[in-house]
Amino acid sequence: QQTATKTETMADTANKVVATAPPAAPPDSAAPAEKSKAAASAPDTANVQNVAAYLAGLEPKAETPLAALAAQPTWQAFAKDQDKSWAKYRATHTDRMNKWAATELDSVRQATTTLFYPFSGPDFL
């Protein structure tokens, strides 16, 4: 007898992540004055933040359904690989910049926390 093993695909994982989203809120029946006040407040992004953390290989909040997915060995391996990738990036890029900045910009850092940078962000990397 041969036992077939099923390999989890990205679609399987995506479906599990989507299944963790909270149910949609019922239509708002609040009075118009209450609606304008509610519209001024920021939307709750906790679920989006948690999904982003999970996809980035960061541990999701323990009280969410994604915590069970993050406990699986496949995700643990993914998270470990992400950690290795960031460690390699830091070793080849930011460690030297931080060392240089600690010596060359120390007096500037102590004087102010404001940085004037007249260029766009993409030229940084």
- Residue 93 forms part of a structural domain: yes
Residue 78: band (very low, low, confident or very high) from pLDDT cuts 50, 70, 90: very high
The pTM (predicted TM-score) of the whole model is 0.55
Domain presence at residue 13: yes
pLDDT tens-digit map of 41-67: 888 888 999 999 999 999 999 888 999
67 shares its domain with 79: no
pLDDT number for residue 89: 94
Residue from 44, 47, 41 nearest 61 by CA: 47
Structural domain harbouring 120: 73-125
Judgement on whether residues 47 and 91 belong to the same structural domain of the protein: no
- Where does residue 85 fall: left (phi above 0), alpha (psi -120 to 50 degrees), or beta otherwise? alpha
Q: Is residue 65 part of a domain?
A: yes
Residue 18 lies in a domain: yes
Structural domains counted in the chain: 2
| Confidence bin at 16 (pLDDT 50/70/90) | confident
